[in-house]
Amino acid sequence: MAQKHVPKSVDEYISLQEEHTRPLLVQIRDTIRAAIPDATETISWGMPTYKKKHNLIHFATAKKHIGIYPGEEAVTTFAEELVAYSFDKGNIRIPYKEPLPLDLIRRIAVWCEEHDEM
Please write the tens of the pLDDT for every residue from 40-87.
Answer: 999 999 999 999 999 999 999 999 999 999 999 999 999 999 999 999
Q: Are 117 and 53 in contact (CB under 8 A)?
A: yes
Please write the tens of the pLDDT for every residue from 2-29.
Answer: 557 789 999 999 999 999 999 999 999 9
Give the closest residue to 64 by CA, choosing from 38, 85, 89, 35: 85
Query: Considering the domain 10-114 in this protein, what is its CATH number?
Result: 3.90.1150.200
Amino acid at 6: V
pTM for this entry: 0.93
- The pLDDT score that the predictor gives to residue 4 is 73
Please write the tens of the pLDDT for every residue from 80-106.
Answer: 999 999 999 899 999 999 999 999 999
Distance CA 38, CA 8 (A): 20
- The pLDDT score that the predictor gives to residue 5 is 78
Q: Are 93 and 86 in contact (CB under 8 A)?
A: yes
- The pLDDT score that the predictor gives to residue 3 is 56
- The pLDDT score that the predictor gives to residue 1 is 53
